[in-house]
Amino acid sequence: MAGKEDILTRARIDEALDGLPDWRYRLGGLVTAYKAPTAAAALELIAAVGRLAEEQNHHPDLDWRYNRVFIRFTSHDAGGEVTERDTRAAAAVSAAASAAGAAAEPGLYRTVELAIDTAEAAAISEVWRVALGYKRVEGGNDLVDPFGRGPNVWFQETPTPNSSRIHVDVHWSKAESGPVLEKTAATGASMNRDHAPDWVVVTDVQGNRLCLCTEEGYDPEA
């Protein structure tokens, strides 16, 4: 069992990822997607991942979409952060995917969060938790789906909430974010890059906001 003392720093995660080209770092986890030759081959890869998970007693979040398999490793017993158990598991899955003839497509793995501007998160978080059937993140008001299927909800506390209080954060890996930013800018949306490459605030012509985010600036020790 891992503990918070086993959480890898960003420097150690980045060092590990140098040897894990199939994988990207995302919000306290290692993520990737694999494209198998057929749907049947994707199922065989899922079975192989399941066997590895049992052998290592470390189980990923996994989603199957026809011939693609989306995988995320995180250490829940370390507060939902990356430990060496995750890097070992990712390496084993990469080997299994190669043996199955599956190609890594980590750029397909994107993560969506719902952000709510508020002057007092504690006053409203319970409404959202109950309505969504979510649970609280330890030590805070932010919310997560206990089954990892729906988007996280986090409360951006500010004394001056934006008039458009709810926005979506879309997380892409920095390595794949460039084309997304270019295509979004080409739609005519306004692009505030003051905090790039951590995030870019996008506002559509009606004033609705979303943020295109990367792993830059995310510190697991913060």
CATH number reported for the structural domain that contains residue 39 in this entry: 3.30.1360.20
Q: Note whether 116 and 190 are same-domain residues.
A: yes
Predicted confidence at residue 162, as pLDDT, reads 87
Mean pLDDT over residues 159-186, rounded? Answer: 94
**SS percent in the chain: helix, strand, coil, step 5:** 35, 30, 40
Task: Work out how many domains the chain is built from and give that number.
Answer: 2
| Sign, CA torsion 48/25/13/21 | positive
> What mean pLDDT is predicted for residues 158-173?
93
**pLDDT above 90: percentage of residues in the chain:** 89
pTM (predicted TM-score): 0.92
Tokens 């004394």 locate to: 159
Statement: residue 221 has pLDDT above 80: no
Whether the predicted pLDDT of 2 surpasses 70 = no
Q: Where a domain ends, among 75, 108, 141?
A: 108
The pLDDT mean for the chain works out to 94
Q: Which two tokens stand for residue 154?
A: 């986090």
Do 118 and 209 reside in the same domain of the chain?
yes
Confidence class for position 185, pLDDT limits 50, 70, 90: very high
Predicted confidence at residue 64, as pLDDT, reads: 97
Please give the average per-residue pLDDT across 105-130, as a whole number.
96
In the chain, the largest separation of any two C-alpha atoms, in whole Å, equals 54
Number of Cα atoms under 13 Å in the Cβ half of residue 16? 21
C-beta atoms surrounding 54 within 10 Å: 10
Q: Does some domain include residue 192? A: yes
* Mean pLDDT (whole number) for 170-194: 96
pLDDT interval class at 1 (50, 70, 90): low
Could you give the angle at the alpha carbon of 175 between the alpha carbons of 219 and 82, nearest 5°? 35
CATH classification of the domain holding 196 = 3.10.180.10
Tell me how many degrees the CA angle 61-63-67 measures, rounded to the nearest 5: 140
pLDDT value at residue 183: 97
Domain holding 73, by residue range, is: 4-108
Quick one: what percent of the chain has pLDDT higher than 70? 98
Q: What are phi and psi of 202, to 5 degrees?
A: -110, 130
Q: Is the pLDDT of residue 3 over 90?
A: no
| Element containing residue 84 per DSSP (H, E) | helix 84-99
Which residues on neighbouring strands pair with residue 79, listed in sequence order? none
Q: Name the 3-class secondary structure at 156.
A: strand
pLDDT in the model for residue 164: 87
Q: Are 99 and 127 in the same domain?
A: no
Residue 101: per-residue pLDDT: 96
Q: What is the pLDDT of residue 79?
A: 87
Would residue 53 count as lying in a domain? yes
- Residue 221 in domain: no
Q: What pLDDT is recorded for position 114? A: 97
DSSP three-state, residue 24 = strand
Q: Tell me, yes or no, whether 220 lies in a domain.
A: no
Cα end-to-end span (Å), the chain: 22
Residue 92 has pLDDT above 70, yes or no: yes
Residue 139: its pLDDT value, please? 82
In a domain, 158, yes or no: yes
Mark which of 59, 77, 108 sits at the end of a domain. 108
pLDDT digits (tens, 9 = 90+) for 120-160: 999 999 999 999 999 999 888 999 999 989 999 999 999 99
